[in-house]
Structure 1
Amino acid sequence: MTNTTLALNPNDLGRFVQTETYRMHFYEAGAGHPIILLHGSGPGATGWSNFWPNIEHLSATNRVIAVDMPGWGKSDTENDEFGYTHTESLIRFMDELNIEKAALVGNSMGGMTSLITAVKHSDRVSHLITMGAPAPGVNYFGPSDGPSEGLKILFHAYREPTAENMKRLVQIMCFDEEMATDELAQLRSEAALANPAHLESFLNRSFDPSFNTIFPQLSNLEVPSLFIHGRDDRVVGFENSLRLVSLVPNSRMLVLNRCGHWAQIEYPDEFNRTVASFVASN
């Protein structure tokens, strides 16, 4: 684990774009082949709070874009009127930025979006990288009945976004509780409380129903794929990535011991090197 000192300021990187449906906020740095970073769920999740240790390093060789998806951060709250999933929102976002093809790097919920996009719009995805992404199936090494310990805490924090619950949320995401700093909890808390409509929207939303149906289609995927998972993930167990790597033909898996749900935050140096090398060499 590494304490990362940043030269980049999120206030200097933030931009907005109006898509067909939503005004979306994102952070952008660097030039070269596009890498789009897709955050997970949880109150206070944003492109920056999920990827602050990674943007600077990856932008040394690539155009890096960390998106606030609709319903998170400074982007518009999701609206049932449109009926679009995150996959459609992502494609419309790419269209507005004139990005024909990009490497998708998705954490948890962002991993789901990446997987669905790779199946439905494979011509728009150059590389598929997930961290802590879910995959339907039965767990043999961890609990299989009902939501995980981490998901229970996540939903509780949505219902009661207190400072104490935010600290518990950050702690459950990391293996090493020293990583769950007051500063990180405060960052998440401020982002969550800045837009209460986002919290209500999440509790009333349902995730893309096509996820279970597209899952078998991953066996036909030709996109180079990398599945990263913390061995000690208490939110989405590492067996999910075992299912992914066994199904996707052109894929590999990296398991990090003593690591929770946020591999990109707990092991930023290894994560950054691995992602940059994977995108450059495949």
Structure 2
Amino acid sequence: MMLTYEATSRFVQAGEYRVHYHEVGEGPVLLCMHGGAPGAYGWGNFGRNIEALARHFRVIVVDLPGYGKSDKPDVSTGRNKMYADTMVALFEALGLERVNVLGMATGGAVAIRLAADYPDVVDRLILVSAAGGQTMFGLRRRDSASHVYYGGDGPSLQKMHDYLSQLLYDPSLITDDVLWERYEASVDPEFMERAPEGRTPVRHTPPDLWKRLDEIQAQTLIVWGRENRAQSFENGVFMLSRIPHAQLHVFGECGLWVPYEKAEEFNSLVVNFLSGTKRRS
């Protein structure tokens, strides 16, 4: 089977929403949930990790509702709960009982809610640059914040380049293919009309999500980039202090988009963590 976007593309009715996802591989299930912002979607965040991870797991990469080819409901509040409920409906539709969950940025916030609300369905948990922590200090953002992307004269390749430069420590990784892929997704008319994140400076992460961290009972791997300017690695340290069964890995010379910027090392880290000895109850 060719590991292309088209060959791995699937749809499923998950509760109220038709959800688009990619699936490949066999073995323990690994659900991957992407971050949010202009042009975000599942394959765009994890497409470069799927081949390596699919050698060990049944990998399911979703487009969260509002992104990619999934339905785009108008959700202004309670978004993380809606996402968590939808993922459980997706598990039921696919006949899955327990899954490993990997969430990045916005997807990390959803993963926290999923693990807290539905502990029986989450086996192991991986939080990458996850929203939902707390910090006192952090790196200053570079100029060109994401919330201005759709403002002024509207989206442009230069604005997308400026935005992606905030996600990565090494700007040379912003290839023409990556730039065009993300830009084209960001100017999709339906995405522009209903994108749940990226068009305004409003933060959608509930400010009290951090209060639920100590409810997580799953073995948890927290992954961060030291140069993450959107979510300082201090958030990861905070999560480590709150989640009972957690470990933290911080990559130097790395920004928010760890699975892309440190792909080989990240894939090995995930495989080793998910293949480790299960904690006895």
Q: TM-score, normalised by structure 1?
A: 0.88
Q: From 130, 146, 151, give the equivalent of 1:154.
A: 146
Letter in 2 for 1:272: N
Partner of 1:117: 114
1:91-130 paired onto structure 2 within 5 Å? 91-130=88-127
1:77 corresponds to 2:72? yes
Please say if residues 77 and 204 of structure 2, whose CA atoms lie closer than 8 Å, have aligned partners that are also in contact.
no
Counterpart contact for 1:221–1:248, Cα < 8 Å:
yes
- SS at the partner of 2:149? helix
Aligned to 2:136: 139
Q: Is the 8 A contact 2:72 2:194 kept in 1?
A: no
The one-letter code sitting in structure 1 at the alignment partner of 2:161 is K
Matched, 1:279 2:274: yes
The match for 1:4 is: none
Partner of residue 30 from structure 2, selected from 23, 28, 35: 35
In structure 1, C-alpha distance between the alignment counterparts of 2:60 and 2:220, rounded to whole Å: 19
Contact 1:135 1:241 in 2 (8 A): no
The CA distance in 1 between the partners of 2:165 and 2:238, in whole Å, is 26
TM-score by length of 2: 0.88
Identity of aligned residues (%): 29
Q: What is the CA-CA distance between 1:8 and the residue it aligns to?
A: 1.8
Structure 2 matches for 1:1-282, cutoff 5 A? 8-80=3-75, 85-142=82-139, 149=142, 153-159=145-151, 160-202=154-196, 203=199, 207=204, 209=206, 212-281=207-276, 282=278
Q: How far apart are the structure 2 equivalents of 1:81 and 1:108?
A: 18
Instruction: Extract unaligned runs of 5+ from structure 2.
Output: none
Partner SS state of residue 123, structure 1: coil
Letter in 2 for 1:19: A
- Post-superposition shift, 1:142? 4.1
> CA RMSD of the aligned region, Å?
2.2
Task: State the AA in 1 paired with 2:37.
Answer: G
Contact 1:43 1:161 in 2 (8 A): no
What is the alpha-carbon distance in structure 2 between the residues aligned to residue 164 and residue 91 of structure 1?
Answer: 38
Matched residues in 2 for 1:187 and 1:236: separation? 24
Which letter does structure 1 place at the counterpart of 2:129?
A: G
The aligned length equals: 269
The one-letter code sitting in structure 2 at the alignment partner of 1:120 is D
Corresponding residue SS for 1:122: coil
Deviations 1:46-72 (A, max 9, x none): 111100121111111110010001110
Alpha-carbon distance in 2 for matches of 1:161, 1:154: 11
Counterpart-to-counterpart distance in 2, 1:81 and 1:168: 27
Instruction: Compare the two structures and name the one with the higher helix fraction.
Output: 1
